[in-house]
Amino acid sequence: MSDPSDRSPPPHTAAKPAAASPDTERLARVIARAGLASRREAERWVQEGRVEVNGVVVWHPGHPVDPARDHVKVDGKPLPPPPPLVYYLLYKPKGTITSREDPDGRKSVIDLVEGLPERVEPVGRLDFNTEGALLLTNDGDLAHALTHPARGVPKRYLAKVWRTPTEKTLERLRRGVYLEDGRTAPALVRVVDDTEAGNCWLEITVTEGRNHLVRRMLETVGHPCNKLRRESFATISIRGMERGEVRALSAEEVARLRDIAEGKDPALAGHAFKYKKGFARPKAQANKPLSRKKAQRRRLSGRSGGPGGKGGGGRKGSGGPTGGGNG
Ligand code: URA
């Protein structure tokens, strides 16, 4: 390894690496998969000159590496073999942050899962004052797919808001409201309960992952929210859990997440349907790619175009505001 005191990239190595072959992966991804760091941290390590491939310091996080043939070392130590992929759900309590470290020293959700044998990362974010469903995994690819804006996975919230919105206001929230970073995508919204003090609990299912999205939507329509809980993420629900509790996902839940990550309708994800003899099967055009807007509307309504026909969604009770999920 080169002298660690000299950690600026030599000019000829700072350029983009050569094109990858089918057997190669990005260097930062290989380091992250070994369970040593998140992808972002691994990228930083590479840029700091702490990583060598086959005895040569490499400065580009996207450098193509064949994990079966190339020898990667971090700080002079070979990478351990990748750990098994694991998936957990945490009922995040309010008053915790979802990033690993905080300059203000606030408590992180990572402190709550310290006892887990594997190093896991939260999938997406929740605000300091929001509680509820937070997935944690070391499967970076799945996490990436589930948080990709184009995937639009459903996230179901309960929000306690000031006063009770009129039907017209609920409709505005459903259709999309204008925020400073653009109009919100269609959402499912309904009043769940009124409180004695004249306020109410709303259930809101959104498909975007913008910062403070739900709070900003509610503020914009004049019903600020003072309590927010995420009931489910991509149909994986905290039902029956206590605040601060963490549980491993079942094999069925992991299969469901993989389906959703691949773009399957959340109402059908994790289900292998059998078509009954004598009943019509969906036409082949069910696989035709939908426009982004149409796909978003379908995900929210739980309408699949699959078995069960219009609005069927295939799952009992899927007509609710959960987007057909289990939340
Ligand atoms: N929307 C918010 O406003 N906050 C969250 O934590 C999640 C969604």
Distance (Å, whole) CA 266 – CA 245: 25
What pTM did the predictor assign?
0.76
pLDDT at 7: 61
The answer to whether residues 112 and 134 touch, using CB atoms and an 8 Å cutoff, is no
Which residues of the chain fall below pLDDT 50? Answer: 1-2, 4, 14-15, 282, 284-287, 304-327
pLDDT tens readout for residues 231-272 = 999 999 999 999 999 999 999 999 999 999 999 988 888 765
- Kindly report the protein residue whose alpha carbon is nearest to atom 7 of ligand 1: 126
pLDDT at 269: 80
Positions annotated as catalytic residues are 127
- Kindly report the protein residue whose alpha carbon is nearest to atom 3 of ligand 1: 212
Closest of 72, 67, 48, 70 to residue 59, by C-alpha: 48
Q: Residue 202 C-alpha to ligand 1 middle, in angstroms?
A: 14
Closest of 133, 136, 181, 172 to residue 156, by C-alpha: 133
How far lies 243's CA from each of 4, 66, 78, 253, in Å?
45, 42, 39, 20
DSSP, res 106: -
Q: Which of 96, 99, 127 to mutate to test the pocket of ligand 1 (most atoms within 8 A of CB)?
A: 127
Q: Which of 98, 211, 221, 227 to mutate to test the pocket of ligand 1 (most atoms within 8 A of CB)?
A: 211
Q: Residue 48 C-alpha to ligand 1 middle, in angstroms?
A: 34
Query: Cβ < 6 Å from ligand 1: which residues?
Result: 126-127, 130, 212-215, 228
Distance (Å, whole) CA 208 – CA 206: 6
pLDDT at 327: 33
Q: Residue 131 C-alpha to ligand 1 middle, in angstroms?
A: 9
pLDDT at 271: 63
Q: Residue 164 C-alpha to ligand 1 middle, in angstroms?
A: 20
pLDDT tens readout for residues 20-44 = 677 889 999 999 989 888 888 999 9
CA 8 to chain centre: 35
Please report the atom of ligand 1 found closest to the CA of residue 127.
6
Which residues does 270 contact at the CB level (< 8 Å), separation at least 6? 252, 253, 255, 256, 259
Please report the atom of ligand 1 found closest to the CA of residue 155.
8
Torsion sign over Cα 71, 76, 77, 79: negative
pLDDT at 102: 86
Please report the atom of ligand 1 found closest to the CA of residue 126.
6
CA 181 to chain centre: 20
pLDDT at 57: 96
Q: Residue 10 C-alpha to ligand 1 middle, in angstroms?
A: 43
pLDDT at 300: 67
